Structure 1
Amino acid sequence: MTVQDPNVVATSGAGSAADGTRTARVVRSVDQPVDGVAVVAVGGEIDMLTAPELRADVLGRLDDGDTLVLDMSAVSFLGSAGLAVLVEASQHAQRRGTAFRVVAVERAVIRPLAATGLGEVFSVHGSVAEALAAVRAGGGPSAG
């Protein structure tokens, strides 16, 4: 059995940056369906390489005063660095007096949220439409 140090990034071979399959880029689209509400859709792997980019974007949008719906429907991996971004975004939203909603449908996101207990802390929804309905219903600022 071979065990690889998780802190070492492959420099050659499958999955390395050299072969072009592993990049520190989060697939993202942004929509503003209602004035003052931003929906940020992310996909791929949220790990220590991609979390800083996600953090900058999410906190920046919260700084703008927007209610933020983070659509993680296309996320295939959510690591501890990604969970830390969610916690920080939730706290940032509370300080700003705005709402932060998370859309999680894939096991890759739901399992880490459940395992850490964060699924009970954040306002987690099964679809963007459901999250937007909660915003319209006056759910107000939330813990997540």
Structure 2
Amino acid sequence: MTVQDPDVVETSGAESAAAGGPRAGQLGLVARTAGEGVAVVAVSGEVDMLTAPQLRADVLRHLDAGETLVLDMSGVSFLGSAGLAVLVEASQQAQRRGAEFRVVAVERAVTRPLAATGLGEVFSIFESVEQALEAGRAR
């Protein structure tokens, strides 16, 4: 039996791709630039009290840089209250920084907690990264 260190968070790379993504209790984060001042962070795995601090650090780093952030949660298999708290904090940080924060949510594991808490009405929610990026171009 092995015990996994909760501070170790799997990020993108050949190892995670070969293993089929993050294992239970792990978080995958892949960031890319989608244009000047626009970052897309793809999240996969479980967002819970063990993995939320890593998500928070990554999200706030992009927002602190004043970037528009598209958080692609289409690969998330579980979104707990700690993850919801990260989304609320990210939204507030974006407002303070004059940045935009958009969430891509299609999986029931994400859409259901957002709907149940009413947060689906608070965030800019999109069905695809392309839609989220296009929303910024339309302004």
**TM-score category (smaller protein):** 0.7 to 0.9
What corresponds to 1:118 in structure 2?
A: 119
Matched-pair identity in %: 68
What corresponds to 2:66 in structure 1?
A: 65
Deviations along 1:10-36, whole A, 9 cap, x unmatched? xx68xx638xx544x420111112110
What corresponds to 2:42 in structure 1?
A: 41
Segments of 5+ residues of structure 2 without an aligned counterpart are 6-22
Higher-helix-fraction structure: 2
Amino acid at match of 1:38: A
Alpha-carbon distance in 2 for matches of 1:135, 1:31: 16
Alpha-carbon distance in 2 for matches of 1:135, 1:39: 13
The reply on whether 1:90 has 2:77 as its aligned counterpart is: no
Alpha-carbon distance in 1 for matches of 2:29, 2:56: 13
Cα drift, residue 135 of structure 1: 1.1
What corresponds to 2:16 in structure 1?
A: none
Amino acid at match of 1:118: L
Closer, same or farther in 2 for the Cα pair 1:22/1:107, shift >3 Å? closer
Cα drift, residue 120 of structure 1: 0.3
- Runs of 4+ with deviation above 6 angstroms: none
Segments of 5+ residues of structure 1 without an aligned counterpart are 1-11, 139-144
Larger Rg: 1
The reply on whether 1:17 has 2:4 as its aligned counterpart is: yes
The TM-score, its normalising length taken from structure 2, stands at 0.83
Amino acid at match of 1:84: A
The TM-score, its normalising length taken from structure 1, stands at 0.80
Amino acid at match of 1:28: L
What corresponds to 1:56 in structure 2?
A: 57
What corresponds to 1:7 in structure 2?
A: none
Alpha-carbon distance in 1 for matches of 2:125, 2:100: 12
Is the partner of 1:34 in helix, strand or coil? coil
Cα drift, residue 77 of structure 1: 0.1
Alpha-carbon distance in 1 for matches of 2:42, 2:27: 10
The reply on whether 1:130 has 2:131 as its aligned counterpart is: yes
The root-mean-square deviation of aligned C-alpha atoms, in Å, is 1.6
